[in-house]
Amino acid sequence: GENVEQHPSTLSVQEGDSAVIKCTYSDSASNYFPWYKQELGKRPQLIIDIRSNVGEKKDQRIAVTLNKTAKHFSLHITETQPEDSAVYFCAASMQAGRRALTFGSGTRLQVQP
Partner 1 sequence: GAGVSQSPSNKVTEKGKDVELRCDPISGHTALYWYRQSLGQGLEFLIYFQGNSAPDKSGLPSDRFSAERTGGSVSTLTIQRTQQEDSAVYLCASSSEGGRETQYFGPGTRLLVL
Residues that bind partner 1 (CB under 8 A): 1, 6, 31-32, 34, 36, 42-46, 49, 51, 89, 91, 93-96, 98-106
Residue ranges of alpha helices (H) inside the chain are: none
Comparing CB distances to partner 1, the nearer of 61 and 98 is 98
Which of 13/94 has CB closer to partner 1? 94
- Contact in structure between 33 and 49 (CB atoms under 8 Å): yes
State CA 53 to chain mean position distance: 17
Closest separation in Å from C-beta 57 to partner 1: 13
- Which residue number, 99 or 113, has a Cβ lying nearer to partner 1? 99
* 6, HSE (Cβ side, Cα atoms, 13 Å): 24
